Structure 1
């Protein structure tokens, strides 16, 4: 091609996995190719996906439309820049909400407002449109080659680069550089799952379904006939997906009543559902959105500077910069939530100016290390219950209930009160405004946690085991209408919630699974089908992917291990070890492989909250910056030899955090 060297061999890049993370790398590659000087070599980019190129498995476009996103469409974009007067193109394209509005105008499709929620199917269609836009706007010296196949092996060539062996093609692809954006794993069964699977095997009509995307679970009438008793393990976001598949997906319908509540009209083809979880509480509703897409809470207490100062104190006191989550991070995080909570109460009662005056005084007291109790009394807030995350996440505590009816009545009351709070909004409603801060300050939490920023024991016990379950329950709820649907199903007798600390065991006598809460007398139920509605946790050693297993066996990737010789602690995280941006993989010998990258869910535990599936319009989010760092490095030159590293490059020695704001 004109202006390019005569060498006919292009620089070949393979992106394995084309869900949102893989697509984000492709988008930033396309932007850089158009904005920067022409590369020295032609470029060939393979976009590889086993399910659907440009959408991936979770967002594939052949799924049913009752599976819903939990972020409003106005806050979702896959473009790294907002639309301008030109055509949609990499770096300047519509948000999901804008795309839906345009499709409504041009194709007569359903219109959604910026604060509405789209189906996963519709988001998949949007992702596909972004992929097509990328392909259409590549410069002439680059080509995008879609490959719908499963990569089962990656073999390094002696001279550099990799041969990619695919499941259905005996001829390998060659790539100089490879990006792993493989998304949610499918894991080898653990001990509990193995027990459940073995029990179901050989028993006709008895099934145990391991956790997965609801669209990939066998929820059809052949596996679960009408009237079958079904147990559901976990009541998070995936629980709602399973719930609607077994009700709306069976021909049932919801009617909205004059007071905003819902009534369920059964089709007669539904199963009987018994759900349970550790808390006994279905994940609460997300507050009505009142925020512009570019809005983000400005942290006052849990700031990057505060994290840095805490590290300096830890280093001076212990000789290690690693933090204790409960002592160094959580108190500052709770101050952020308390500040928003009390300020919202004053604003709702006395108006914006009074709220601003209170906020100034309240923040000054907290920043000076003072006790805000006197200020709260002066402001007339002493009778308002304080914000208590543990109480919200575990409302039943250790209490026991004499029968399922008593528990059910209290559960419904808690759910209705929470819906009333959600209706107030995530800005004007004190409770949901405060809980929304958990989303906005994720990136500062990342600075404290990522790359071994915590002591190993604190990361495992305080962060993963205690904080994350509460954070997940309270910060990432479904749309309000989903909770209203669940209320209607409970009232219709289609769904029953067993209670707190639900146990799931096998019952040889009945030939089924036993679901029961030790805190609710008479709650035990026998079910024929047990569905795990928890999304699998990433773990390299349990991942069933032939590609990941092969990379581990060949020593091309390694597990991220947090080691703290000062405290004599070690934590094997199960996450894939990568450097900081641009996220080169670290192999089993501790070498940085500069031609192999990993981004997103496989690196969970090395980095936190990698399941983010989009950027936000008008913001230079971490999602965008992650993709751009890889795109820049991909175009920086030819492949290099792996270089040795002291583990400091991936944080194991220094524990220093990564920074930036998030989606």
Structure 2
């Protein structure tokens, strides 16, 4: 009999258990799977430290046992996994799936200072973290609110503060999405390191059969990775859209591989072979679109941002720009060995960890409606007697507010997270951080260790796992859970499992 521990009974945990049931071998010959679900707040059962009743699935040979307890430590011996629970029990398993929500980060000195300042002056300060959503009800309606960060967490707070307060989206005369305020929204002034939100996830698939290629580091992993990204991008362009190039991939590919990344020879090759500027890859421009750009006033920056968002929506919906998706696939391929590198993680977040096309269109509508205003790159937010003031080199002037919301990903990451199990794994070098989350191999969710190897018996899924954004074409949680369940069962039984009926 095989044993699996799933830590977390939220959407990710429930989904992976469902897929384990679907793919588990038929009963017989001792091929029974026992799944232990560990969560102190598991739905549908009484809260206690005792294991719940075993639920048997007669069609797939699966027994599920719920433990209303918290997992606090994960160790292994001779390949066996041992999960220690807060109540004292230890579960032994063939494989473990970490499916809890994103781990919290203890408040740091800067956050504590802002909280003290807010309390002293009767202001509102919401630090980042999984509990932030409970404080959004306190965000004042109709007043300026500074938001620091424009990534994934920023996208997540928009709905509670807009449609969650009575607003709604409608279709405009030209088919565009329009936001109709409910009258209780705050006025969000958003600044971030780049000054722009993450790109939307593409709404199409690859057509050119791109295959990742790795280049020798030669002492610079970033340069090698940048070349791999560009190689994948141009391979898709030349093979899927040959009418937009002046030569063939058979000629361009080898010449590109020989050229130095970003060097004169490579630039000349691309300019000669790819006539349209829009078809050429400029990683530096993608990474810092507002670098060196200055506007005369805030209104000028908003006009530019509206165009930026419109162009992103158009490009991410048009299969003619499938090289963008090839670039994302290359980012996913490189992540296991580049996880934790600030340059790579920033690029990954910008290009591969963004919202859906629908959510990006909603952000565009909110910006046009004046609910969201962008204040530029590298904002400097300081305290003053009346609240906070923010300014940026992108645009002159100062924005003031009596409320500040943090949506930046914490930089302290796994080593300092409030989850003792994950913090302990990190301290022992048994997991690797990726932008504050757990680095995993996509799509099977195997945990990547601190040394860069892939752990065969540990998996992570859901919002605490880096790369679980679906940019590889299987965006949905069921798709990711399905891949994880198959990999877990293959590991447990040492053989391929049958497909679900």
Normalising by structure 1, report the TM-score: 0.59
Q: Deviations over 1:397-425 (max 9, x none)?
A: 133333212222222232333333334x1
Question: Do structure 1's residue 494 and structure 2's residue 391 form an aligned pair?
Answer: no
- Seen in structure 2, the aligned counterparts of structure 1 residues 260 and 482 have a Cα distance that, compared at 3 Å, is farther
Aligned-partner Cα distance in 1 for 2:421–2:360: 39
- Seen in structure 2, the aligned counterparts of structure 1 residues 34 and 530 have a Cα distance that, compared at 3 Å, is same
Residue 559 of structure 1 aligns to a residue whose secondary structure is coil
After TM superposition, give the deviation of residue 335 of structure 1 in Å: 2.2
Aligned-partner Cα distance in 2 for 1:598–1:201: 41
Question: Do structure 1's residue 185 and structure 2's residue 117 form an aligned pair?
Answer: no
Contact 1:21/1:627, CA 8 A, preserved across alignment:
no
Equivalent residue for 1:609, pick from 456, 459, 467: 467
Matches within 5 A, 1:299-378: 299-300=210-211, 302-303=212-213, 306-307=214-215, 310=216, 324-341=220-237, 346-347=242-243, 358-367=248-257, 369=259
Equivalent residue for 1:485, pick from 356, 362, 368: 362
Q: Tell me which residue corresponds to 1:438.
A: 327
Aligned-partner Cα distance in 2 for 1:404–1:540: 37
Equivalent residue for 2:288, pick from 372, 388, 394: 394
Aligned-partner Cα distance in 1 for 2:241–2:76: 63
- Seen in structure 2, the aligned counterparts of structure 1 residues 38 and 277 have a Cα distance that, compared at 3 Å, is same
After TM superposition, give the deviation of residue 203 of structure 1 in Å: 4.2
Question: Do structure 1's residue 421 and structure 2's residue 296 form an aligned pair?
Answer: no
Q: Tell me which residue corresponds to 1:631.
A: 489
Aligned-partner Cα distance in 1 for 2:181–2:10: 35
After TM superposition, give the deviation of residue 277 of structure 1 in Å: 0.7
Aligned-partner Cα distance in 2 for 1:341–1:578: 28
Aligned-partner Cα distance in 2 for 1:150–1:538: 27
- Seen in structure 2, the aligned counterparts of structure 1 residues 633 and 363 have a Cα distance that, compared at 3 Å, is closer
Q: Deviations over 1:305-362 (max 9, x none)?
A: x45xx37xx6xxxxxxxx6322322213212223434666653x6xxxxx79744443
- Seen in structure 2, the aligned counterparts of structure 1 residues 362 and 230 have a Cα distance that, compared at 3 Å, is same
Equivalent residue for 1:473, pick from 350, 375, 383: 350
Q: Tell me which residue corresponds to 1:412.
A: 306
Question: Do structure 1's residue 290 and structure 2's residue 204 form an aligned pair?
Answer: yes
Matches within 5 A, 1:260-279: 260-279=175-194
Number of positions where the alignment pairs a residue of Structure 1 with one of Structure 2 = 470
After TM superposition, give the deviation of residue 187 of structure 1 in Å: 0.8
- Seen in structure 2, the aligned counterparts of structure 1 residues 188 and 37 have a Cα distance that, compared at 3 Å, is same
Q: Tell me which residue corresponds to 1:210.
A: 128
Aligned-partner Cα distance in 2 for 1:386–1:155: 47
Contact 1:559/1:574, CA 8 A, preserved across alignment:
no
Larger radius of gyration: 1
Equivalent residue for 1:219, pick from 136, 146, 149: 136
After TM superposition, give the deviation of residue 486 of structure 1 in Å: 2.8
Aligned-partner Cα distance in 2 for 1:634–1:204: 56
Q: Tell me which residue corresponds to 1:527.
A: 401
Question: Do structure 1's residue 144 and structure 2's residue 64 form an aligned pair?
Answer: yes
Aligned-partner Cα distance in 2 for 1:406–1:560: 49
Residue 193 of structure 1 aligns to a residue whose secondary structure is helix
Contact 2:192/2:376, CA 8 A, preserved across alignment:
yes
After TM superposition, give the deviation of residue 246 of structure 1 in Å: 1.1
- Seen in structure 2, the aligned counterparts of structure 1 residues 138 and 21 have a Cα distance that, compared at 3 Å, is farther
Aligned-partner Cα distance in 2 for 1:399–1:200: 33
Uncovered stretches (5+) of structure 2, i.e. residues with no partner: 45-54, 495-501
Q: Deviations over 1:142-161 (max 9, x none)?
A: 421234x4405459899x98
- Seen in structure 2, the aligned counterparts of structure 1 residues 476 and 341 have a Cα distance that, compared at 3 Å, is farther
Q: Tell me which residue corresponds to 1:114.
A: none
After TM superposition, give the deviation of residue 12 of structure 1 in Å: 5.8
Q: Tell me which residue corresponds to 2:393.
A: 518
- Seen in structure 2, the aligned counterparts of structure 1 residues 467 and 234 have a Cα distance that, compared at 3 Å, is same
RMSD of Structure 2 on Structure 1 (CA)? 4.6
Contact 1:560/1:572, CA 8 A, preserved across alignment:
no
Q: Tell me which residue corresponds to 2:429.
A: 559
- Seen in structure 2, the aligned counterparts of structure 1 residues 479 and 360 have a Cα distance that, compared at 3 Å, is same
Q: Deviations over 1:464-520 (max 9, x none)?
A: 22232123212343333433333333333222111111122322x11x222321331
Q: Deviations over 1:165-187 (max 9, x none)?
A: 45xxx6x5552227250341111
Aligned-partner Cα distance in 1 for 2:449–2:335: 20
Aligned-partner Cα distance in 2 for 1:499–1:536: 20
Contact 2:274/2:280, CA 8 A, preserved across alignment:
no
Q: Deviations over 1:519-547 (max 9, x none)?
A: 3111x222222222234568333111255
Q: Tell me which residue corresponds to 1:49.
A: 39
More strand by share: 2
Normalising by structure 2, report the TM-score: 0.75
Of the structure 1 ranges 396-405 and 265-274, higher mean CA displacement relative to structure 2 is found in: 396-405
Q: Tell me which residue corresponds to 1:89.
A: none
Uncovered stretches (5+) of structure 1, i.e. residues with no partner: 1-9, 55-133, 315-322, 350-354, 451-459, 563-570, 637-663
Contact 1:230/1:272, CA 8 A, preserved across alignment:
yes
Equivalent residue for 1:242, pick from 151, 154, 157: 157
- Seen in structure 2, the aligned counterparts of structure 1 residues 585 and 474 have a Cα distance that, compared at 3 Å, is closer
- Seen in structure 2, the aligned counterparts of structure 1 residues 327 and 143 have a Cα distance that, compared at 3 Å, is same
